[in-house]
Chains A and B, each alone.
Chain A
């Protein structure tokens, strides 16, 4: 993630500001956790404990929330998160084949990160680019009308950047 170089201490300071802002707000736990995911890159056990200490919300509740929503990850994602759309519009235009090819090329299942920590493969639902189906994203860059044979080149591109 973008913040990989900063030490956790630094990141927690950023998170403190957010916690301060939301902790007395009703329903503030989700926004706190969304920000934690964004700032730290995951909500692992340590982050959950940290939020619990600061807010007084039991860790069990926080863990319950973290495992319920697909946005939260319990370990950090790779440097590049590849999302292949498995929304209906993309699916009927063959995105499953692209997904299978990605999984083959990267050697990981959906939701997993490659051994070198470079890529995380995820299946997303409609990202609103159905006109470009099948659609795929790499850290927010959108690739449209992707065919299985395009996959290799796209992965290479990011591998070369490193």
Chain B
């Protein structure tokens, strides 16, 4: 590889691409060319740095200067000042506290990264994901080479399984099943054809961990799948990736082709008699295809409907053959475990949940983005220290994990160490890593309704409890949010929830009632306020809202009346105005316009 004096890393993950990083890369290249530094400075597009909120993000090495919110017009300054004259452009450097712009804010010094431990995301934002040589330079394909040369024969393969078992790695796709055990089950059956599959369907709406791994470090997944293929005796792998992830698909295609060129996929890998190849299959927008049996049906080209287990995929999976299926993030840990040893991995985390977990932080949080923390970190640390807390001085209400299958975590559990078992104990679940923060302005009944709408939409319709039961639950929730709730509705919801959980065919239906159950557990008072007082405490459910003007604060400027589309506001200039609640259509235009904060919505 060529040596460069400076490296300009520009994030080309989905978040930053959407905020215009492709043009930034182009302008950087042009400007660098203009000042004649093309031979000395290298511009690289990388995967996600995690701090998506502050995108587009640019890091310049060797100084490690971290520039955020970069606009096209900022690029020439960075080139002439920083790259040419060696002076960091301090006013463009990221700072979590804008009053203290430090001279050179290096990555390690940023609050956002301090508590993080990047294992699965190790290469995201560090290497060019479209260049296999960079991956190799960062110990890429070393774990595969180690497996193929040191762990040979039946014994060697069992040894790799032992390593996975000892590491304590559990599946990151949601269920948390021990990965080593899964590999062992898939190795056991004797069959001339076996498959290794990767679940990159990432269905949780509001989660983008797997996407970022694929966009930032695709080879890590390919390498781990190849190792898995070697262990269980498979010849073919499939990555099932969402079609909605075009950048990830593009980079995976490039990565697969490069790996084939380098003899790291295909026949006789690294000169051994082991042959293995990987192909992509695109999802077509069906949440249930994240469920393992549905996913395999979809790869077979059928409707992605789940099938009862047993038989488990390890025995009878894709095309009826023994199949191993793991999640993207699970695979992203594998090579590190083989290179650094199972003890290293097991030294991180809690007793029953080892290693780290990637979370996609979103919602009402300062630093939306991707974080990776050791298991056992508390929610408080993630939300306040890494996430920077709740914006606009609002109060934290709950965090939702596990997406539509999970539950919410209220303030009283902020200090629970996050791991598989603790989250289940408080009525939520680890899930795949979506972590959505909600503040006082979010109505928990409305959120429960949102998730039920999602599951109703995505229910494949094969089994009645899920198809009909979730619809009944949704109808009740809609009624409550419309201010038409009746005594007994909560009990009906609970009864339905238990029955659906016990009788649905697959994980989708079995977990669909969870958001309702957990909001009922912690925010029953909100449900009750809706039903018994016809009041939405958070001021979200519009049919129950009343707009009123505070006569103390109103200066009588008439701006609200002028902007009311329904002509519901009247009054005399310089005297308090009033809203006719009969005419009011609750559009909120008046609140937006009032300069004195005199109008409230309750």
Residues of A within 8 A of B (CB): 26-31, 33-34, 61, 64-65, 68-72, 86-93, 124-133, 135, 142, 144
Shortest Cβ distance from A28 into B: residue? B301
Min CB gap A125→B, angstroms: 4
| Residue contact B243 to A34, C-beta cutoff 8 Å | yes
Shortest Cβ distance from A86 into B: residue? B205
| Residue contact A133 to B301, C-beta cutoff 8 Å | no
Chain B residue contacts of A71, Cβ below 8 A = 243, 284-285
Residues of B within 8 A of A (CB): 13-15, 18-19, 52-55, 203-208, 211-212, 243-245, 281-287, 298-305, 319, 360, 362-364, 368-369, 400, 403, 434, 436-438, 442, 447, 450-451, 454, 460
| Residue contact A129 to B207, C-beta cutoff 8 Å | no
Q: Can you give 11 contacting A-B residue pairs, CB < 8 Å?
A: A27-B319, A29-B302, A31-B301, A64-B303, A65-B301, A70-B285, A88-B206, A126-B208, A130-B52, A142-B18, A144-B19
Cα of A137 to Cα of B364 in the assembled complex, Å: 21
Shortest Cβ distance from A125 into B: residue? B205
Q: A31-B301, A88-B205, A93-B363 are in contact. List 20 more A-B contacts (CB 8 A).
A: A27-B319, A30-B281, A33-B284, A34-B284, A64-B303, A68-B303, A69-B283, A70-B286, A71-B243, A88-B363, A89-B206, A89-B434, A89-B436, A125-B205, A127-B14, A128-B14, A128-B208, A129-B18, A131-B369, A144-B19
Min CB gap B202→A, angstroms: 8
Knowing A65-B303, A88-B206, A88-B400, the reply to whether A93 touches B19 (Cβ < 8 A) is no
Chain A residue contacts of B211, Cβ below 8 A = 128
Among A26, A69, A144, the one with the most B-chain Cβ atoms within 10 Å of its Cβ is A69
Chain A residue contacts of B281, Cβ below 8 A = 27, 30-31
| Residue contact A92 to B438, C-beta cutoff 8 Å | yes
Shortest Cβ distance from B211 into A: residue? A128
Chain B residue contacts of A26, Cβ below 8 A = 300-301, 319
Knowing A34-B284, A87-B206, A133-B362, the reply to whether A92 touches B52 (Cβ < 8 A) is no
| Residue contact B447 to A92, C-beta cutoff 8 Å | yes
Shortest Cβ distance from B203 into A: residue? A125
Knowing A27-B301, A131-B53, the reply to whether A92 touches B205 (Cβ < 8 A) is no
Among B204, B362, B434, B442, the one with the most A-chain Cβ atoms within 10 Å of its Cβ is B362
| Residue contact B368 to A92, C-beta cutoff 8 Å | no
| Residue contact A132 to B363, C-beta cutoff 8 Å | no
Min CB gap B405→A, angstroms: 12
Chain B residue contacts of A70, Cβ below 8 A = 284-286
Min CB gap A37→B, angstroms: 8
| Residue contact A129 to B285, C-beta cutoff 8 Å | no
Cα of A20 to Cα of B270 in the assembled complex, Å: 33
Among B206, B364, B450, the one with the most A-chain Cβ atoms within 10 Å of its Cβ is B206
| Residue contact A88 to B403, C-beta cutoff 8 Å | yes
